[in-house]
A = this chain, B = another copy of it.
Amino acid sequence: MADVAKRAGVSVSTVSRTLRGLPTVSPDARRRVEEAARELSFVISRQASGLVTGKTGAVAVLVPTLKSWFVGAALSGLGAGLRGTGLDLLVYSVSDMADRAAFFDRLPARRNADALLVVSFDLTADESARLDGLGMPIVYVSQQAPGRASVYVDDVMGARHGVRHLINLGHRRIGYVHAARGPSGFSFSSQRRFLGYREALAEAGVEVDRRLVVDVAASGRRGAEEAVGGLLGLREPPTAIFAEIDQVAIEVMGVLRGAGLDVPGRMSVLGFDDHEMAEWMQLSTVAQPAEDIGRTAGELARSLIDDPDADPALHRVLPTRLIPRASTAPLGTTAPLGTSSPLPAPDAPDGTARTRD
């Protein structure tokens, strides 16, 4: 910085003021400083400025994994939301138990970020208390925390709309497939989606049949085969299946088609998420705006950082959106064997939205 000052013929104070965009700099000095800074490709050291301002210029985000579609999309939106704010993104991916203990023991985010975002992370009471003691703004993403800022999607409503869509198509026996995920995250959405399923059935006067509710035990094909097998083995099998997440829905579709059952002719399948793959597979699904969630969380974090008086317990609930594609159809429709889109010259309209609610 001293170099820049010398080159521009001003003091370091003026350089600092210029580079921070303070108004009390003459146009002439400003120009000279900017030029000198460019020539020396000088950038301010966050470390040094942070030392005195007490700000780090970064937000930390704690995620249970980086290999999930949702986390990737949320981070992507978060990055977009932070752009132009000068805030950097510090990612702590904490999956196994050893990492986890280390993270909560050392709390490396402390003092190294201005805010912490916690994404889909199932916290123990101890961990939660530890974060509360952190003394920095926290935003919970895809989960709720009492008294803390949160951004999440209305999973209950989403699931209700999804199931209602199936009901409107004439389905009454609707299977539900829980996604058994690790112990580390996502349980908030999981519970709420199932609640929405039950509410939609109740609303339609359909009783919940526990035999129609199954778990995908393991990840991978095996679990889906067992779950679907269980459902099909019932005396009264379902005519539609609602899966908690798209991944499971896609596995279910694969298993059904592999067994020669046409989707949606013989079985409608509905997912939740709008995973990128859902479109490729023509899966009807309840979309959650993962990027918007990230972006919103970023904005919330920023307001918490900039404005100490901001309500630290602000909740933002984002809407879901039903996207009917070709994996759901009215009850009783029996499509030709094989599925919707023929080739090479498609002789049917594109499979999207073949019905409406």
List residues of A whose CB falls within 8 A of some B CB: 41, 43-48, 50-51, 56-58, 65-69, 71-73, 75-76, 79, 83, 88-93, 99, 106-108, 110-112, 133, 220-221, 224-225, 228-230, 232-233, 247, 250-251, 254-261, 276-277, 279-282, 337-346
Contact = CB atoms under 8 A, between A and B. Distances in A.
B339 A337 contact: no
A46 B340 CA distance: 58
B343 A111 contact: no
A354 to B, nearest CB: 14
17 contacts: A45-B111, A47-B48, A65-B76, A67-B76, A79-B92, A88-B92, A221-B279, A228-B343, A229-B343, A254-B280, A255-B343, A257-B257, A258-B341, A259-B341, A259-B344, A260-B342, A337-B337
B41 A51 contact: no
Nearest to A76: B66
B247 A67 contact: no
B75 A280 contact: no
B229 A344 contact: yes
A66 B66 CA distance: 9
Contacts of A79: 66, 91-93
A281 B254 contact: yes
Contacts of A110: 41, 43
